[in-house]
Amino acid sequence: MPTALINTNTPLPINFTNLKYGSYYKSDLYMKRLSFFTFFACSFAHVNAQLCTGSLGEPVVNITFGSGSDPGPELPRGQTSYTYSTSQCPSQGAYSIVNLTFECYDNSWQAITTDNTPNDSLGYYMLVNSESIKATLYVFSVTDLCPNTTYEFSTWVKNALRPTACDENAVEPDLKLTIETLAGNILATYSTGNIQKANDAQWNQYGVLFKTPSTETELVFRISNNSIAGCGNVLALDDITVKPCGSKINAVVASTGSKTVEVCEGANTSFLLSANFGPELSNSVFHWQVKENADDWKDIVGATSKDYLTKRSPSGYYLYRVVVSQPGSLYSPKCRIFSNHISVNIQPPPFIQLTNYVYGCVGGKITMIASGGLKYNWTGPNGFTSTLQRPEMIDVQYSDSGLYKVTGITDVGCQNSDSTLLKVYPNVTATAGHGTFICEGATTTLTAGGGISYRWQPSKGLSNDTIATPAASPQEKTLYVVEVRNQYGCSDTATVEINVWKKPVADAGPDLKTRVGLPVALSGIAKGSDVTWFWTPSNNLSSTLLLNPVTTTPQTFTYTFHVTSSHGCGASADNVVVSVFDKILIPNAFSPNGDGVNDTWHIDPLGLFTEASTEVFNRYGVVVYRRKGFSTAWNGTSNGMALPPGTYFYIIDLKIPKEPKLTGSVTILR
């Protein structure tokens, strides 16, 4: 266990010019320092956190531990009693300078991914695995402090343990902040008490207020481990500061009491700023400062009273504050305090923009568009007014021509204007001719008029969709729309419908088979627009005008089905052959060898007898083929296997009463 490296009776000056560890301000103006800020009533014994509730000055010390890649560098010798470690998870009695720690000791530590310093990319913090002794975590000394002045000594701390650490009985950090003279006399002390752990523990500030003695301008500042012995006591430190602290100074705009001003450039941009404070500051000295846009704070020449009248300024964002100090120490950063900020935002006029050129067509509609403002006020000919960003005018006339002006207004009330000229041109009246009927496959000419340019939709079936008189060959009824424009760009549309009579199409149906004396119906199908039909010749037909007449022809015969357009779109004809059988012809041989000739055992007209059964046997009486009806001719196979050449025997039963069964033999040749 390391022993303390700090003798409390020995001052420890630190070179804070190295910003990795902090910085403080030096000044030679310490003469004539009288009692200042002594009004701040406070007890420096062991009390609750003492943080300045008045106005603070710039940090005399500001230790942020710097930033960079892990691990950060070791602290200079004498600044801590703990041993330096390069690990993100230092062991007991050690510390590390890191910007990230996670998954330490079976994830019993917090994952700390950022330091406390605002806008500090890869900012370091001091991570300490404290031992259970009253050891020094961090110590430094500061010289040239102002006598009889109140300061705030503070640091930001986070408990680095999870609630489940040490079987939920972890020792919680308890820090003691002390301010000592070089002789070891304690001016003030403060104990944080137990800093509680939580899964989402936040950074918290702890501090103490103290007043410098009239004869002591160099003091020692110490942060010590004050917790009891036991498992735990792991913490992170950041942003250790020493700042002057004084009575509250409230800077406002005198006329409104506000701390913010938003005005427009060109308006009254001069304001009386006033600092309000208690009687304890009545003998202090003042100086107003300004911070313009992203610049640093600058003293305003001659602004040395509690009130300041700002000058007229161009557009920009300005911050004002007043610096307060005892006489003779106004320019010593270690002695002065600051008021709150007063923000003055002087906005430039908005950039209002209109469409450069606007035109309209008589009887038409126009829309004007403005941008750049939050509100708008329009004026124009014929008493036109509007408060819309995009005002719309309907049924525009020649009298609406002229100059239109819009004034744009921002949220603060800043204004600017723009204008545009509206011209109104003669409109166009589109024509597209009259609708008509054409036969399918025929062509007609569309005729548009009224302008100088044309565009037809749909373009399918047109010879050219950009001329006034395209040839149209639609395949079905089509409504054409033409957009017509004149030389001013004004447009109108017209429509024309072209109806299409479909050509006649005759379908006499499939060829038919029957046997003598068995009637059969023809199956005619007529297609087309407004068509008529008839059959020729009329021999043995029940009707020549029906689609499905019945024929009783005693012999094979051919019928023709005729379809004719009623609109002169032509005629169509188709034939059907009705085959009539007076007996069943059974081939006695076939050759299923795949040559395309006589490959199947085909029996006409066995297909007419849908209930007929056919059985084929080999010479041993085994059935090798069985089929009801005869929709498919036999190909000489049995169960998918080709039968050998030879003679086979058949029995055909027509299932007709008193009709004998047909028997015989058939030879398979290969």
Q: What is the pLDDT of residue 21?
A: 35
Contact 124, 99 (CB under 8 A): yes
The CATH number covering residue 137 comes to 2.60.120.260
Q: What is the pLDDT of residue 13?
A: 43
Q: What percent of the chain has pLDDT over 70?
A: 92
CA atoms within 13 A on the CB side of 344: 27
Q: What is the pLDDT of residue 216?
A: 87
Q: What is the pLDDT of residue 49?
A: 60
Q: What is the pLDDT of residue 297?
A: 92
User: CA 205, CA 158: separation in Å to the nearest integer?
Assistant: 9
pLDDT tier at 218 (50, 70, 90 boundaries)? very high
Same domain, 196 and 149: yes
Instruction: Name residue 263's beta-bridge partners.
Output: 346
Contacts of 116 (CB under 8 A, 6+ apart): 125, 156, 158, 203, 238, 239
Q: Six-digit token pair at 243? A: 């700042």
Lowest mean pLDDT among 251-265, 315-329, 406-420, 501-515: 315-329
Last residue of a domain, one of 527, 552, 581: 581
Residue ranges in 206-245 assigned as alpha helix (H): none
pLDDT tier at 585 (50, 70, 90 boundaries)? confident
The CATH number covering residue 633 comes to 2.60.40
Last residue of a domain, one of 532, 549, 581: 581
Structural domain includes residue 23: no
pLDDT at 8 over 50: no
Structural domain includes residue 2: no
Q: What is the pLDDT of residues 255-287, one digit of tens each?
A: 999 999 999 987 777 899 999 998 888 888 999
Structural domain includes residue 20: no
Structural domain includes residue 45: no
DSSP labels, 329-344 = -TT-TTT-EE---EEE
DSSP label at residue 166: H
Same domain, 73 and 218: yes
pLDDT at 20 over 60: no
- Of 98, 92, 40, the C-alpha closest to 71 is 98
User: CA 517, CA 553: separation in Å to the nearest integer?
Assistant: 8
Q: What is the pLDDT of residue 632?
A: 86
User: CA 617, CA 613: separation in Å to the nearest integer?
Assistant: 13
Same domain, 554 and 491: no
Same domain, 548 and 462: no
Same domain, 442 and 495: yes
Q: Six-digit token pair at 91? A: 């062991």
The CATH number covering residue 477 comes to 2.60.40.10
Same domain, 231 and 112: yes
Same domain, 264 and 293: yes
Structural domain includes residue 11: no
Contacts of 295 (CB under 8 A, 6+ apart): none
Same domain, 633 and 517: no
Structural domain includes residue 43: no
Range of the domain at 496: 436-501
Three-class secondary structure of residue 399 per DSSP: helix
pLDDT at 68 over 70: yes
Give me the mean pLDDT over the 479-507 stretch: 96
Q: What is the pLDDT of residue 355?
A: 80
Task: State how far the alpha carbon of 252 is from the alpha carbons of 258, 274, 275, 309, 530, in Å.
Answer: 5, 6, 7, 12, 94
Q: What percent of the chain has pLDDT over 90?
A: 74
pLDDT at 53 over 60: yes
Average pLDDT over the chain reads: 89
Last residue of a domain, one of 331, 347, 363: 347
User: CA 22, CA 310: separation in Å to the nearest integer?
Assistant: 35
Q: What is the pLDDT of residues 368-389, one digit of tens each?
A: 999 999 999 999 999 999 999 9
Structural domain includes residue 219: yes
Is the model more confident about 1 or about 503? 503
DSSP labels, 507-527 = E--S-EEEETT--EE---EEE
Structural domain includes residue 290: yes
Q: What is the pLDDT of residues 140-151, one digit of tens each?
A: 999 989 888 899
Give me the mean pLDDT over the 91-120 stretch: 94
Q: What is the pLDDT of residue 31?
A: 31
Q: Which residue has the tokens 């990230």?
A: 100
Q: What is the pLDDT of residue 105?
A: 93
Same domain, 78 and 150: yes
Give me the mean pLDDT over the 429-434 stretch: 95
The answer to whether the peptide bond before residue 605 is cis (omega within 30 degrees of 0) is yes
Give me the mean pLDDT over the 282-299 stretch: 90
User: CA 98, CA 88: separation in Å to the nearest integer?
Assistant: 7
Same domain, 573 and 614: no
User: CA 338, CA 244: separation in Å to the nearest integer?
Assistant: 9
DSSP labels, 53-82 = -SEE---SEEE---B-SSSPPPPPTTS-SS
pLDDT tier at 171 (50, 70, 90 boundaries)? very high
Contact 425, 360 (CB under 8 A): yes
pLDDT at 24 over 50: no
Q: What is the pLDDT of residues 593-625, one digit of tens each?
A: 999 999 999 987 787 788 899 999 999 999 999
Q: What is the pLDDT of residue 186?
A: 95
Q: What is the pLDDT of residues 525-573, one digit of tens each?
A: 999 999 999 999 999 999 999 999 999 999 999 999 999 999 999 999 9
Contact 350, 376 (CB under 8 A): no
Phi and psi dihedrals of 527, rounded to 5?
A: -120, 155
Contact 190, 49 (CB under 8 A): yes
How many domains does one find in the chain?
6
Entry field: residues in the chain: 670
The answer to whether the peptide bond before residue 71 is cis (omega within 30 degrees of 0) is yes
pLDDT at 41 over 80: no
Same domain, 65 and 172: yes
Same domain, 396 and 334: no
Instruction: Name residue 222's beta-bridge partners.
Output: 139, 178
DSSP label at residue 608: G
